[in-house]
Amino acid sequence: MKITFKILAIGILLLYVSFNTVSKFNLEDKIIGKWSISSDKNETGAWKKVEKFDSNRSGMEFKKEGILIVRMNSGSCATPPITYKNYDGIWKKTSDSTLVITHGFWGGKFESNILIKTLDNEKLIFETLTDKIIRK
């Protein structure tokens, strides 16, 4: 009877611990790094984690403390050959899965609200909820 009680007590303890352990989505730790665009279909962005920016592709680098670098075309014409430039910006977490990113571009400043759909060590998939151009 003592063995049965011990096994039951251990089982209850394990169940309690497993149901009370919340797997938190740690956006801040996972998003830090350089990302290069791999697809851009209908408001959904698919990005892959990279060591360095590709000279012929858009990219984003999320740094600690809300610092953002965005690599995008340097002028209004998107007809190849495209010249890319890095623009300074900021990012701010607004919920467990949403960000506001603000950065420069050739025409002023740009602000986007994005919903993170997938984020792991290799890929970032998000949907743009709103975009706004802020001209100086």
Q: How many CB atoms lie within 10 A of CB 59?
A: 21
pLDDT one-digit tens code per residue, 92-136: 999 999 999 999 999 999 999 999 999 999 999 999 999 999 876
pTM for the whole thing? 0.76
Residue 37 carries which side chain, given as an amino acid letter?
I
Q: Which fold has domain 25-134?
A: Lipocalin (2.40.128)
pLDDT one-digit tens code per residue, 36-90: 998 756 546 899 999 999 988 899 999 999 999 999 999 988 888 889 999 999 9
The structural domains of the chain, with segments of one domain joined by +, span: 25-134
Q: Rounded CA gap, 77 and 68, in Å?
A: 24
Confidence band (pLDDT; 50, 70, 90) for 10?
low
Secondary structure letter of residue 8 according to DSSP: H
